[in-house]
Amino acid sequence: MSALALSVLLSLVSAVAYASGAILQEHVATDTPARPYAPLHHGLWWAAVALNGLGAALHVVALAYGPLSVVQPLGALTIVFALPMAALFVGRRAGRTAWRGALMASVGLAGLLALTEGTDTRALDGTERLVLAAATFGAVGVVFLAAQLVGRPAVRSMLLAAAAGIAFGIASVFTKTVAVDWTSDRPTVQVPSLVVIAVLAAGGLLLSQASYRGAGLAAPLATVTVVNPVVAATVGLTLFGEDFRYGTLGTALALASGAVAAGGLILLTVERSVAASRAARAATRGGAGSSVPAARPPERGSEPDTARAQVGEGVDVGAVAGPRAHLEVEMRSGAVTGRS
């Protein structure tokens, strides 16, 4: 097997591992709504953590055997694998709008990454790492606070997923620069960068877990899948001297690919919001219907009440209500006649 074929195979298995981890995370989020970030007591959550770790490890190995322009676009298949796997294994079927949004996001991301041209890799110096880490923590914090202020669950989910994607993307950048700058005689120099990687990876995992609460699978996963490499590619373009292929045409195609990916995310957000609104209306109608007291059957009243009800219908009172009611009706009739 050639190195390129091995890289493609590893990338595909990595995407399947990421998709499996996301499905488990969404399932855990449904089971434990009171613990949106770290449901440590849930065994499936730890299985999701293991699957995400496996996906990351396979992705790194795939990069060692194949070019970035091939491996990164294949990572966009995570969302494409996740939807049919969720329908097959846990019975969570996505609607047509969700499928269109997921495919648009994947195609746009794949096109954007395929047009990015790498250059000779270099490591970031200490000042660049410090500035990048501070900017990343600030951006993640701002997006997280914005998510807390949003009232719509679908939008809040997308913001949390975007924060997770930023954390994962910059963690990849730090991983790349540590790998380039690693020296066996001075390993302690990389300790600050390793700490940043650990914090960003853990924070991204917790944020992505929270993004699945009440938001389904497709929208949060697509957001993380798109934001993660886009952020990493943006840093590569600005700090690592990467560029788009084919000059001006490549830049225009990259912008178009980004627009397609953004349109896919918008479709996913709209689809989830519409589904949530329909569910809320259905719940409201059901609650309103259940709150109306059921009509009570007419109670069998006293004999005079029964007699009065049936006199107007021309029914023989004596046969129905008994002699007492018959006598009372005659007395009332006489009184009426006397008054008239």
Q: Is the pLDDT of residue 292 over 60?
A: no
Residue 156 Cα distances to 212, 219, 259, angstroms: 10, 11, 21
Q: Is the pLDDT of residue 278 over 70?
A: no
Which residue in 8, 10, 62, 18 sits closest to 205, CA to CA?
18
Residue 254 Cα distances to 2, 48, 173, 250, angstroms: 29, 33, 20, 6
Across the chain, what does the average pLDDT equal? Answer: 76
* Confidence (pLDDT) at 146: 94
* Confidence (pLDDT) at 306: 45
* Confidence (pLDDT) at 259: 87
The mean pLDDT of 17-46, rounded to a whole number, is 86
* Confidence (pLDDT) at 186: 64
Between 191-200, 205-214, 285-294, the lowest mean confidence (pLDDT) is in 285-294
Using pLDDT thresholds of 50, 70 and 90, give the confidence band for residue 277. low
Which residue in 12, 8, 41, 48 sits closest to 27, CA to CA?
48
Q: Kindly provide the residue ranges of all beta strands, DSSP E only, lying in the chain, ordered along the sequence.
A: 116-117, 243-244
* Confidence (pLDDT) at 274: 64
Q: Is the pLDDT of residue 33 over 90?
A: no
The mean pLDDT of 175-191, rounded to a whole number, is 72
Which residues make beta-bridge pairs with 116? 244
Between 67-81, 135-149, 168-182, the lowest mean confidence (pLDDT) is in 67-81
* Confidence (pLDDT) at 68: 60
* Confidence (pLDDT) at 99: 81
Segment 75-124, tens digit of pLDDT: 777 887 888 888 887 777 777 887 888 888 888 878 877 787 665 556 77
* Amino acid at the residue 269: T
Q: Which helix (H) or strand (E) holds 304?
A: helix 303-311
The mean pLDDT of 282-310, rounded to a whole number, is 51
Q: Is the pLDDT of residue 161 over 80?
A: yes
* Confidence (pLDDT) at 335: 45
The mean pLDDT of 214-242, rounded to a whole number, is 80
Structure tokens at 122: 């270099």
Q: Is the pLDDT of residue 135 over 90?
A: yes
Q: Is the pLDDT of residue 70 over 80?
A: no
Q: Is the pLDDT of residue 299 over 70?
A: no
* Confidence (pLDDT) at 62: 84
3-state secondary structure 59-107: HHHHHHHCCHHHHHHHHCHHHHHHHHHHHHHCCCCCCHHHHHHHHHHHH
40 or 92, which is more confident: 40
132 or 92, which is more confident: 132
